[in-house]
Amino acid sequence: LSCGSYDEYLHHLRGQLKRRREHALALLERHFAELAQWDKPAGGFYIWLRLREKMPVDQLFQRMLSENILINPGNVYDFNKNQAIRLSYSYASEAELEYGIRKLAETVRKLRS
């Protein structure tokens, strides 16, 4: 902390998170435009995805888990049944984000039909 490396690290980390956020938002536009709504986060490291159609989010969670993709259903945070998913982009690589968001969109499409 005293040598200034911490400030440099924070600057680097913020840049990485911003790039990952922008990549995740572009992927959502590509794969989820008709399936969900979301807001561009001003900070942090996750995006709230609100599904347009009702579906069994618990079942979606289980299917994604079987694909080794972890999503966070909104009911974990507010204890009500809802159609929200919290997507974190902080640790995933661009390739992992690409795979996970594409696979999530495919699974949402399957569950809604």
What's CA 75's distance to the chain center, in Å?
Answer: 15
Tell me the average pLDDT across 38-67. Answer: 92
pLDDT at 29: 98
pLDDT at 79: 60
pLDDT at 62: 94
Distance CA 24, CA 11 (A): 20
Query: Are 49 and 38 contacting, i.e. CB atoms less than 8 angstroms apart?
Result: yes
pLDDT category of residue 75 using cuts at 50, 70 and 90: confident
**Mean pLDDT score of the chain:** 90
Q: Which residue has the tokens 């959502």?
A: 28
pLDDT at 46: 92
